[in-house]
C-alpha cells in the first residue's frame, strides 16, 4: 500500500516521494498488549529521512542499540524514526521536510531488506498514547461501531 501524498499544511511522509507501507499499525485492546506501534516504510539503506513536520529534536542517538531520532512537534505529538543514523542533534529545530538522518538496515520487523519504522505518540512512558502515523497524512479511515 502506498502512503498518500503530502498535505501542504500538516505532516508529510518521512521518505520522499511516496513510500510503500509494508507493515501496518496494530495495537491490542489494552495499552500494554502486543502490537506494532508505528508503520514500516520500504526504502533502500542510505535513503535520506526527513522530518514529517516542524519541531524540535527530542532524541538523536541509540535506544536499545538501534539509532533513533524523535521529534517533538508544537501540538505535543512526538514522531519517531528508526533505524536512522542522525544528522541532527537534540535541541535542533527542524522544518517539515528537512533531512534528519540516513536510513540504515536492521529493523527486525521489516519484511523487506530495509525499512523505516515511523511512529507517533502523545505523551511519554506509561501515559503514552500511540497513534497510526498514516492518520497524520489523512490516510486512516474512521469506522464507527453501533452502540
Query: Does 143 fall in a domain?
Result: no
Write down the pLDDT at residue 87.
98
What burial class does residue 81 get, using C-beta atoms within 10 Å of its C-beta: 0-12 exposed, 13-18 middle, 19+ buried? buried
Query: Does 144 fall in a domain?
Result: no
How confident is residue 8, by pLDDT bands cut at 50, 70 and 90? very low
How confident is residue 141, by pLDDT bands cut at 50, 70 and 90? low
Q: How many domains does the chain have?
A: 1
List of residues 6+ apart from 106 with CB closer than 8 A: 66, 83
Determine if the peptide bond prior to 83 is cis (ω within 30°). Answer: yes
Query: Does 5 fall in a domain?
Result: no
Query: Does 74 fall in a domain?
Result: yes
Rounded CA separation 48/46 (Å): 6
Rounded CA separation 125/144 (Å): 29
Q: What is the pLDDT of residues 10-62, one digit of tens each?
A: 899 999 888 888 877 777 665 555 555 788 899 999 999 999 999 999 999 99
| CA 108 to chain CA centroid, nearest Å | 15
CATH code: domain of residue 125: 2.70.70.10
DSSP 7: P
- Grid coordinates 537534540 are at which residue? 90
Do residues 14 and 50 lie in contact, with contact meaning Cβ atoms separated by under 8 Å?
A: yes
Average pLDDT, the chain: 83
Query: Does 36 fall in a domain?
Result: yes
Write down the pLDDT at residue 5.
43
Do residues 42 and 23 lie in contact, with contact meaning Cβ atoms separated by under 8 Å?
A: no
Q: Between 25 and 134, name the one with better pLDDT.
A: 134
Do residues 45 and 103 lie in contact, with contact meaning Cβ atoms separated by under 8 Å?
A: yes
Q: The pTM is what?
A: 0.83
Query: Does 142 fall in a domain?
Result: no
Query: Does 119 fall in a domain?
Result: yes
Write down the pLDDT at residue 2.
47
91: containing domain: 20-137
Query: Does 71 fall in a domain?
Result: yes
Amino acid at each position: 500500500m502506498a502512503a498518500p501524498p503530502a498535505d501542504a499544511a500538516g505532516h508529510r511522509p518521512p521518505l520522499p516521494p511516496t513510500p510503500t507501507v509494508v507493515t501496518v499499525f496494530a495495537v491490542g485492546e489494552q495499552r500494554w498488549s502486543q502490537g506494532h506501534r508505528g508503520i514500516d516504510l520500504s526504502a533502500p539503506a542510505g535513503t535520506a529521512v526527513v522530518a514529517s513536520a516542524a519541531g524540535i529534536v527530542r532524541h538523536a542517538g541509540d535506544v536499545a542499540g538501534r539509532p533513533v531520532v524523535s521529534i517533538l512537534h508544537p501540538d505535543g505529538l512526538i514522531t519517531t524514526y528508526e533505524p536512522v543514523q542522525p544528522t541532527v542533534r537534540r535541541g535542533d529545530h527542524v522544518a517539515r521536510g528537512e533531512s534528519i538522518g540516513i536510513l540504515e538496515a536492521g529493523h527486525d520487523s521489516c519484511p523487506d531488506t530495509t525499512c523505516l519504522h515511523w511512529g507517533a505518540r502523545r505523551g511519554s512512558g506509561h501515559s503514552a498514547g500511540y497513534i497510526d502515523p498514516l492518520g497524520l497524512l489523512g490516510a486512516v479511515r474512521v469506522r464507527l461501531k453501533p452502540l
